[in-house]
Structure 1
Amino acid sequence: MRIWVLQIPKGYGHFTRGYMRNTPEGKRFLDTAIEDGVGAAIHNRDKQFGDYSFAKTDQKPNPGNVITP
């Protein structure tokens, strides 16, 4: 059982590497990462989701708002 469980992440890695190389989105991501850097590639990838990290300072969450259990 233990050997089988360890094979799952290994197989997933092969799948994701193939996906990154063989789809138009993956190729675009890699091309941007090579030309402009990984940060730019991640920015372009995540921009479409409207993540608050791309918002203006006054529209970002206040990091001082912490809930302590």
Structure 2
Amino acid sequence: MADLGLCQGHQMCQGEAPDVFGFDAEADVVTVLQEHPDESVRPQIEAAVRYCPAMALSLEENP
């Protein structure tokens, strides 16, 4: 999940998981390209969450 209120547009997430996160240059915030990405990209998503300087990302587990 991306909290757009916290996002500061550093684009670290896009660098870590470019197939999952994009960037809206006009709004200067992250965009989520895949709401339910494949489990194979989980390590990249975890890195994006971990390295987000604004702590604007979190993982949501599917029930």
* TM-score tier (shorter): under 0.3
Relative to the length of structure 2, the TM-score reads 0.24
Relative to the length of structure 1, the TM-score reads 0.23
Higher relative contact order, structure no. (Cα contacts within 8 Å, ≥ 6 residues apart):
2
Greater CA radius of gyration, 1 or 2?
Answer: 1
Q: If each structure's helix is expressed as a fraction of its own residues, which one has the higher value?
A: 1
